[in-house]
Amino acid sequence: PSAMRLLSYNIHKGIGGRDRRYDLQRIIDVIEEENPDLICLQEVDHNNRRSRFHDQPRVLAKQFNATALLCQTTVRLKTGSYGNVIISRWPMHSCHQISLRLVGKKPRGAQMVVVETPEGPLQLVHWHLGLAEKERHWHVNHMLSHHLLRHAAELPVLVAGDCNDWRNTLAAGPFARHGFEQVTAPASRFRTFPAYFPMGSLDKAF
Query: pTM (2 decimals)?
Result: 0.95
How confident is the model over 75-101, as pLDDT tens digits?
Answer: 999 889 999 999 999 999 999 999 999
Q: Residue 197 — pLDDT band, cuts 50, 70, 90? A: confident
Asked whether the predicted pLDDT for residue 141 surpasses 70, the reply is yes
What dihedral do alpha carbons 56, 57, 61, 66 form, nearest 10°?
170
**Lowest mean pLDDT: which of 13-22, 133-142, 174-183, 186-195?**
186-195
Q: Look at residues 62, 57, 63 and name the one whose alpha carbon lies nearest to residue 111.
A: 57
* Total residue length of the chain: 206
pLDDT grade for 3, boundaries at 50, 70 and 90: confident
